Amino acid sequence: MKIVFTGGGTAGHIFPILAVIRELRNIYPGTDLKIYYAGPKNKHGEVLLSQEKVKIVNILCGKIRRYPSFENISDALKTPLGVIQSIFWLFFTAPDVVFSKGGYGSFPVALASGLLRIPFILQESDIAPGLASKITSRWALEIFTSFPDTEYFPKHKTICLGNPIRLSLLGGSKIQAKKLFNLSQRPLLLILGGSQGSQTINQLVIEVLPDLLSSFEIIHQTGIANQKEVQAQADVVLTREQKDYYHSFAFLNEDQLKNALAACDLAISRAGAGAIFEIASARKPMVLIPLMGSAQDHQVKNAYKISDLGCGEVIEEQNLKPHLFAQRIRALFDPSDTLISMAENSKIFSRPKATTIIANYLNEYLS
């Protein structure tokens, strides 16, 4: 049996695919399962996929930028070439099903699967689907969504299951986190800027660090490209005592992330669906800072849906002033009733069984 996964090329697309692959391998009864990933070249994603022994095929794909750029011209040629490439590769590979995580990087493979009449399944993480998901949904057998009331898709073939997360992230503990990060008894803030980091959030953190570290401890995922600069700035603004309460990491591996999620009292994050569901599955309250200008404004819409459900608060970038940000964080802890309510609502919203349900569906389809 052969299954091809495809997705948009960022960790936000790769992590759910990894989650489904792991669970599918756990439950698939045979020894003939062959798993492929076909999508745009992504070094970090390829490392993660290769660790799961997934066969990787790089497919050309162009990205539509919503601002003037010469890259739009060159990328306009990549997508049709990627479709041709995908048609030939899928024809000779002959998979039983193609599973798409959406995103621009999925489009050539998804379109080729439609042209070749290969069974196609779509999973959409965000409440506002991107252009690739909108187009490819037309020939999808099933569409699995993460948020209730996801926009655009026809209801007769849409099922809201939640977002697949890595089940290993559910096993963290405060005790292990204390050992791993050398934590104190202070309230812990976990700050996540997405897999690539966020310069906006990183700069905000540096500006409010001395203030927040008088009361809180912080674990901060900066992004691989930003870690050295952020740490250097922190070393300048912090006293020796304050440095004991600040822990910066370029990227949190699974062991670090699951324990940081278990130990934190509040998570502060971008509003990508992957981060939202990982935080919610750990039953944590959250403050979301959506990326402005994201495709279809999906991060803004994700964030306000979370706010409407009572799982967290939203601070938009134009309102992101250091002093006011610090005040908002302190207000959530004084008293902590709001945090307790958010955590309970996150538990209700999270749907951690999504990974298992999707893997079981694929298993039944392949069997």
pLDDT per position as a tens digit, 211-267: 999 999 999 999 888 889 999 999 999 999 999 999 999 999 999 999 999 999 999
pLDDT, averaged across the chain: 92
Structure pTM?
Answer: 0.93
What are the residue boundaries of the structural domains of the chain, listed by start? 2-165+352-366, 168-349
Residue 189 pLDDT exceeds 80 = yes
Task: Assess whether the region 2-165+352-366 and the region 168-349 belong to the same CATH fold.
Answer: yes
- Rounded CA separation 4/96 (Å): 8
Q: How sure is the predictor about 357, in pLDDT bands with cuts at 50, 70 and 90?
A: very high
Please name the fold of domain 2-165+352-366: Rossmann fold (3.40.50)
pLDDT per position as a tens digit, 126-175: 999 999 999 999 999 999 999 989 999 999 999 999 999 999 999 899 99
Question: Is there a contact between 142 and 162 (Cβ–Cβ < 8 Å)?
Answer: no
Which candidate, 173, 193, 218, places its Cα nearest to that of 320?
A: 193
CATH number of the structural domain 168-349: 3.40.50.2000
**pLDDT number for residue 49:** 93
**pLDDT number for residue 123:** 97
pLDDT per position as a tens digit, 92-121: 999 999 999 998 899 999 999 999 999 999
What 3-state class would DSSP assign to 201?
Answer: helix
**pLDDT number for residue 71:** 66
Write out the DSSP string of 84-135: HHHHHHHHHH--SEEEE--SGGGHHHHHHHHHTT--EEEEE-SSS--HHHHH
Rg (CA), the chain: 21
Question: Is there a contact between 170 and 352 (Cβ–Cβ < 8 Å)?
Answer: yes
Question: Is there a contact between 342 and 72 (Cβ–Cβ < 8 Å)?
Answer: no
Amino acid letter, residue 30 = G
Which candidate, 90, 18, 113, 114, places its Cα nearest to that of 358?
A: 18
**pLDDT number for residue 61:** 86
